[in-house]
Amino acid sequence: MSLFPFLLSVRQIQLLRPSLSSLQFLFFVHKALFMFYMFRTHRLYPQPNFLS
């Protein structure tokens, strides 16, 4: 599962940045997961104008 090391790296970022509030951290995780999902979607089902 390629998402497991990503979650571990996010956990390390949370440990390195304890001053980051929980709301900002949740927003960061949501944005990162959304970008990861969009990357997987475009790689599995590329759009006609994705490379142009």
Local structure of residue 20 (DSSP, 8 states): S
CA 46 vs. chain centroid, Å, equals 19
* Pairwise CA distance, residues 42 & 39, whole Å: 5
User: What distance separates the 2 farthest-apart alpha carbons in the chain?
Assistant: 43
pLDDT confidence of 16, banded at 50, 70, 90? low
Domain boundaries, the chain: 20-52
pLDDT at 46 over 50: yes
pLDDT of residue 44: 63
Of residues 47 and 15, more confidence is placed in 15
Q: Distance from first CA to last CA of the chain, Å, rounded?
A: 31
pLDDT at 12 over 60: yes
| 44's tokens | 């599995």
Q: What is the mean pLDDT of residues 10-24?
A: 69
